[in-house]
Amino acid sequence: MIGASHHCQSLHYLAFLVAGLLLSLPTGTITAKAEDSSSIISRFQEYLRINTAQPNPSYYEAADFISSQAKSLSLDLQILEFVKRKPLLLLKWAGKNPALSSILLNSHTDVVPAEHHKWNHPPFEAHLDPSTGHIYARGSQDMKCVGIQYLEAIRKLQASGFRPLRTVYLTFVPDEEIGGHDGVEKLADSDTFRNMNVGIVLDEGLASPTENYRVFYGERSPWWLVIKATGAPGHGAKLYDNTAMENLLKSIESIRRFRASQFDLIKSGHFAEGEVTSVNMVFLKAGTPSPTGFVMNLQPSEASAGFDIRVPPTADEAALEQRILEEWAPASRNMTFELGQFKQRATMHDKYGKPLITSSDSSNPWWRLLEKAVNDANGKLAKPEIFPAATDSRYFRELGLPAIGFSPMANTPVLLHDHNEFLNKDEYLRGISIYESIIKAYASYDEPTKDESSRDEL
């Protein structure tokens, strides 16, 4: 009994020494040893399973999950509600020199709806196919992957003992998929944002079917336009000029020809999708309803059509306006814009009057850092592009801030908003390493003083 007691005391003493040793180690070191790819993938799947599809996203459930991740990384957290029931999460990794401008890593929590019956796997199950490694889920590409990759990259940096020189902010914002008006637009116009002293913004990009990562320095502005035609009603058998339907069809044909000319530029290989103006008709409204459908022997007095127009920042804005007024909706054909204006028209210039473009050459130190960081992580950037659609980046560019669109998904088909959206688990893990390199480079950048810059110029 005496011997057993002595042995027990020795074991307790040994356990005490081990516990003390573990407590003396940096927390990140312990985390790094316990971490494996399965737990990293599991966290991604957990986020994907939260149904944040418009029009009824589970924002608070997503906020709870992000908050738990922020807590595990000891990041400062604010939950802002510029609009009720639309939480915006602001995470902060404090830098050693708060006088330097900060880094902002932006992502949105909402996703577009999914037609469940057209998916091979339920869109909010986050199914991992063991034979291919593909993770099927709405938001796997657009853009829940990016938001969690930011966090996982910071987890790895903390585990390595890295401390940022610059403060790093992460935003998880609502409503990007419906215009961002209650999300980033409100944030960008707030005192909170002005106090963040942001110097560079990273936001979403697109998957790349090749081995090179796509990267975006601008985006096309959305002009959502509704054209309305009016005319005298008439019998369905009567032929006469300037009916509402006839006038609208003339406009549609004119728009179709313009669309074809822009599409031909892409097909020629001389222009990328983001470099041309796209026009797509999204609705057509006409006819006189009846209990069984529509009245067939009555020509309607009104007809309207809606168009989604995307305008690159390099386009001649005045020329397009003139085309709309003279060709697409001339008053001489009883054509008007609904409510007398564009339904939505994003600005094409920042507050200084400059095009909404971020420099993508050596004049921009953030661009140089990004390119080198990706290369250092064994990746390669493709030729910089203009994003074909609109993202939250435009609200930051409107303030004159540089913003770069980038989602590290190579060898991946572009499936955002499509059925069976997926991201391969290995590509997801590789993207974390890419972000680790980028965040480390950005957060370590100590810009030269004016005197040093002058000497370099000399």
Domains observed in the chain: 27-218+350-454 (3.40.630.10), 221-311+314-345 (3.30.70.360)
When pLDDT is cut at 50, 70 and 90, the band that residue 344 belongs to is: low
Residue predicted with more confidence, 67 or 356: 67
Mean pLDDT score, 254-277 = 96
- Each residue of 69-111: pLDDT tens digit? 999 999 999 999 999 999 999 999 999 999 999 999 999 999 9
Strand 127-128 and strand 215-219: the pairing is: unpaired
108 annotated as ligand-binding: yes
Strand ranges (DSSP E) for 145-242? 168-173, 198-203, 215-219, 221-230, 234-235
Residue predicted with more confidence, 37 or 343: 37
116 annotated as ligand-binding: no
| pLDDT in the model for residue 347 | 73
Q: Would you say how long the chain is, in residues?
A: 458
When pLDDT is cut at 50, 70 and 90, the band that residue 343 belongs to is: low
Query: In this model, does residue 14 exceed pLDDT 90?
Result: no
- Each residue of 418-431: pLDDT tens digit? 999 999 999 999 99
In angstroms, rounded to a whole number, what is the distance separating the alpha carbons of residues 266 and 274?
Answer: 9
pTM: 0.83
* Least confident piece of the model among 122-136, 167-181, 231-245: 231-245
Query: In this model, does residue 9 exceed pLDDT 90?
Result: no
In angstroms, rounded to a whole number, what is the distance separating the alpha carbons of residues 177 and 53?
Answer: 9
Catalytic residue positions? 110, 176
| pLDDT in the model for residue 355 | 80
Provide CB contacts within 8 A for 230, sequence distance 6+. Answer: 244, 301, 302, 334, 336
Q: Is residue 283 within a helix (H) or strand (E), and if so which, with residue range? A: strand 278-286
Handedness of CA 403, 408, 413, 419 (dihedral sign): negative
Q: Which two tokens stand for residue 432?
A: 């974390």
- Of 363, 432, 445, the residue nearest 100 (C-alpha): 445
246 annotated as ligand-binding: no
| Residue found under tokens 């407590």 | 23
When pLDDT is cut at 50, 70 and 90, the band that residue 17 belongs to is: very low
When pLDDT is cut at 50, 70 and 90, the band that residue 458 belongs to is: very low
| pLDDT in the model for residue 133 | 98
Q: Per DSSP, what are the bridge partners of residue 349? A: 355
270 annotated as ligand-binding: no
- Each residue of 377-403: pLDDT tens digit? 999 999 999 999 989 999 999 999 999
Query: In this model, does residue 22 exceed pLDDT 50?
Result: no
46 annotated as ligand-binding: no
Mean pLDDT score, 52-61 = 98
| Residue found under tokens 């590509």 | 427
Buried b (16+ CB within 10 A) or exposed e, 444-457: ebeeeeeeeeeeee
When pLDDT is cut at 50, 70 and 90, the band that residue 200 belongs to is: very high
